[in-house]
Structure 1
């Protein structure tokens, strides 16, 4: 099927494409509108190593801290951090379920870790992010190596508190509606194409020409109220029907001038015509 055929199929089934597009767009819009919103809030932690004051010590401490950032991020979603958070906030969930809504990411090439929490409640999202950040500070300092005085060699400090978000991150109604619009158009075009491919019925003169590769010489419309078996030309017909007969006669005359062995096919839409 060529591009021209696709465009012809689109024009022929324009209402199907439009209906599918409108239906998909409206359906996605309604679902997005009535979906429960999801909020996200983030807190930030800064990690450093308690080392000597020389340039070499500071450089080694910074290198060590950055090498441990991935481990600190993984701790943020483990039960050792999340179980105390659940108990402190009185959440009706498990550490495994809470871990699916908490994430920790390192700001590129820094010693700063961003803790994010998502929830259907804006206040809960902020509370969880702050609680996870605070508990992670406790866990990291508890697990770190100790110096000669028994103090933790890793220092963690919350440098940004999570704030109650004003707007949800999901659903993104505008984006979803646009996606529904595009999907609706593509689905409509696909249905139009399949309808043309699977429908083998001959409906219009163009279909006859496309299938038989021969021209249609004429088409006689149904004459309303005609029940007699007598020829239509004897009974009398309207001007529009008479014009159809005249057009057929003219085409037959021109066709038979230089044609030998002429073969004509007369077809009807249903039995009895």
Structure 2
């Protein structure tokens, strides 16, 4: 995936990203509301030299004091200090657990000791901090060697008593909300990217081109409401619209790829599966070719699930099969549709031996006759992965177009279609991407999961 594909994946899943971000923020708010508040109180003890008659003795005493302060910092969190505090305050805890709530430090190059205590009750936090500050000198005195063994005495004095805090230090609800929002957004982004990486369906134009290594001759958008009678025919209903213009572009691109193939007239449209839009594309391509005055014939070669007659409103009983079994002459089976230079050869009656009819010299001869009568022959063939009819027809036409539905057709299915055509000795002239959604009146398309014919 390139950068633009990542951006497109995020845009497609923007709702999920927003929802997960909001849920993360709500979870952070809930955590903040449910977490018991923690209060913090701090007392401060000053460590000083109590004796010294000369400047040298005072200097030595100060140096000694700074060195021993760190020992007092460690001492303040030991049972020697905390057990008397627990007894005096009648606390329901142990020295080990209380030590986890006590934080003692000495600012660098000072002889101050800061004693900070965390508690769910503000009064208890202050009482414990002050009790430790009072107990520490007593414990030091009981542990200090006799005056004969020390160069000077040390005095510990409480200079700042802890007071009841007015506000808890935690939970920080605003911080929890921010963290929850960010984590939710990251989860949404991860979801969007992972879903894109695991999505095996063909997406946009670039995805189709990378999958097939073939030119994308057209990208046709969704058009019309599902309950419209002629929703599959923008060339008739809205000839100046974006959808109609996309089929004109398909017509121009087909001319371009055939520019080096003199006499090329017949094109077959197939797909991997039913509902990918091949019939819609065949109908509108035929209309686009006839629009500029060319003589065009549209053939419904899907003898198992024909749909051209229904889409055009023409008679289905007389058509391709009746011509192939020589029940009706070709001229009588052709039906004019919309304009005088566009004829349709519907499927005819559905035969029990569709494959035998398609794989016969009569089919080859019929296509040859149609090429003599018309400038273009457009054949709507069955889905190639459903039946092998399209593989056989591909040998008889000048070019095959594979129709792929954006957001529906899987890449593996497209690959299977190409492999089947390759085994038949044919290479498609290009592909058409259907079901693309026009985001504005232009040629900007994105995924869509809506259904089309």
Which category of TM-score, normalised to the shorter sequence, fits these structures?
A: 0.7 to 0.9
* Distance in 1 separating the partners of 2:162 and 2:403: 81
**Candidates 230, 240, 251, aligned match of 1:237:** 230
Post-superposition offset of 1:190 = 1.4
Q: Which residue of 2 aligns with 1:262?
A: 399
Post-superposition offset of 1:73 = 0.6
Structure holding more helix per residue: 1
Structure holding more strand per residue: 2
Q: Which has the higher contact order (CA 8 A, sep 6+)?
A: 1
Post-superposition offset of 1:247 = 4.6
Change (3 A) 1:2 1:254: closer
* Distance in 2 separating the partners of 1:215 and 1:92: 77
Post-superposition offset of 1:215 = 1.5
Post-superposition offset of 1:52 = 2.0
| Contact persistence 1:42–1:126 (CA under 8 A) | yes
Q: How many residues align?
A: 260
Q: TM-score, normalised on structure 1? A: 0.84
Post-superposition offset of 1:47 = 1.0
Larger radius of gyration: 2
Post-superposition offset of 1:2 = 2.8
Structure 2: segments with no counterpart, 5+ residues: 262-397, 410-452
Equivalent positions of 1:87-236 (< 5 A) are 87-147=87-147, 153-202=153-202, 207-213=207-213, 214-215=215-216, 217=218, 219=220, 224=226
**Worse overlay, 244-253 or 177-186:** 244-253
Q: Please say if 1:18 is aligned against 2:11.
A: no
**C-alpha deviations, 1:84-113, integer Å up to 9, x for none?**
111111111000000000011002211110
Structure 1: segments with no counterpart, 5+ residues: 227-235
Post-superposition offset of 1:154 = 1.8
Post-superposition offset of 1:203 = 5.5
SS where residue 216 of structure 2 aligns?
Answer: coil
**Worse overlay, 95-104 or 186-195:** 186-195
Equivalent positions of 1:9-88 (< 5 A) are 9-88=9-88
Q: TM-score, normalised on structure 2? A: 0.52
**C-alpha deviations, 1:167-225, integer Å up to 9, x for none?**
11111112222222222222211111111101112356665345335315254869847
| Contact persistence 2:41–2:129 (CA under 8 A) | yes
Q: Please say if 1:248 is aligned against 2:241.
A: no
Post-superposition offset of 1:130 = 0.4
